[in-house]
Amino acid sequence: MLKLTKLATAAALVAAGSAAMAGEVEVLHWWTSGGEAKSVGELKRIMQGKGHTWKDFAVAGGGGDNAMTVLKSRVVAGNPPAAAQIKGPGIQEWASEGVLANLDATAKTEKWDSLLPKVVADVMKYKGNFVAAPVNVHRVNWMWANAAVLKKTGVAGTPKTWDEFFAAAEKVKKAGLIPVAHGGQNWQDFTTFESVVLGVGGAKFYSDALVKLDQKTLTSATMTKSLETFRKVKAYTDAAAPGRDWNLATAMVIQEKAAFQFMGDWAKGEFTAAGKVPGKDYICAAAPGTASAFTFNVDSFAMFKLKDAAAQKAQADLAAAIMGTEFQEVFNLNKGSIPVRLNMDMAKFDDCAKLSSKDFVETAKSGGLLPSIAHGMAVIPAAEGAIKDAVSQFWNNDKMSVADGVKSIAKAAATK
Ligand code: BGC
The residue whose C-alpha atom lies closest to atom 8 belonging to ligand 1 is 299
The predicted structure's pLDDT at residue 62: 93
Judge if the beta carbon of residue 64 lies within 6 A of ligand 1.
yes
**Is the per-residue pLDDT at 133 higher than 50?**
yes
- Cα-to-chain-centroid distance, residue 53: 26
Cross-strand pairs, 237: 180
- Arithmetic mean of pLDDT, 251-264: 98
Strands 136-139 and 294-297: antiparallel
Residue 10 or residue 228, greater confidence: 228
The predicted structure's pLDDT at residue 21: 80
**Is the per-residue pLDDT at 8 higher than 70?**
no
The predicted structure's pLDDT at residue 18: 38
Ligand 1 centroid–CA 112 distance in Å is 23
Ligand 1 centroid–CA 366 distance in Å is 26
The predicted structure's pLDDT at residue 43: 97
Cross-strand pairs, 134: 300
The residue whose C-alpha atom lies closest to atom 12 belonging to ligand 1 is 62
Query: Percent of the chain scored above 90 by pLDDT?
Result: 94
Sign of CA dihedral 125, 131, 136, 140: negative
Average pLDDT, the chain: 95
Judge if the beta carbon of residue 36 lies within 6 A of ligand 1.
yes
Ligand 1 centroid–CA 398 distance in Å is 28
Please report the domains of the chain, with CATH numbers, ordered by start residue: 6-138+297-355 (3.40.190.10), 139-296+369-413 (3.40.190.10)
Judge if the beta carbon of residue 268 lies within 6 A of ligand 1.
no
Residue 272 CA to residue 281 CA, distance in Å, equals 11
**Is the per-residue pLDDT at 5 higher than 80?**
no
The residue whose C-alpha atom lies closest to atom 1 belonging to ligand 1 is 63
Residue 148 CA to residue 146 CA, distance in Å, equals 6
The predicted structure's pLDDT at residue 20: 60
CA dist 300 → 84, 86, 231 (Å): 8, 6, 33
Tell me if 375 sits within 8 A of 138, measured CB to CB: yes
- Arithmetic mean of pLDDT, 370-374: 98
Judge if the beta carbon of residue 30 lies within 6 A of ligand 1.
yes
The residue whose C-alpha atom lies closest to atom 4 belonging to ligand 1 is 63
The residue whose C-alpha atom lies closest to atom 11 belonging to ligand 1 is 63
Indicate which atom in ligand 1 lies nearest the CA of residue 138: 8
Judge if the beta carbon of residue 371 lies within 6 A of ligand 1.
no
Tell me if 288 sits within 8 A of 359, measured CB to CB: no
Q: To test ligand 1's pocket by mutation, which of 27, 138, 245, 268 has the most ligand atoms within 8 angstroms of CB?
A: 138
- Confidence (pTM): 0.94
Ligand 1 centroid–CA 201 distance in Å is 25
- Arithmetic mean of pLDDT, 293-318: 97
Helices (H) then strands (E): counts for the chain: 19, 15
Confidence of residue 304 (pLDDT cuts 50, 70, 90): very high
Residue 332: Cβ within 10 Å count = 28
Judge if the beta carbon of residue 266 lies within 6 A of ligand 1.
yes
The residue whose C-alpha atom lies closest to atom 5 belonging to ligand 1 is 62
- Arithmetic mean of pLDDT, 35-44: 97
Confidence of residue 416 (pLDDT cuts 50, 70, 90): confident
- Return the SS3 of 128: coil
Tell me if 95 sits within 8 A of 63, measured CB to CB: no
Residue 359 CA to residue 362 CA, distance in Å, equals 5
Ligand 1 centroid–CA 295 distance in Å is 14
The predicted structure's pLDDT at residue 391: 98
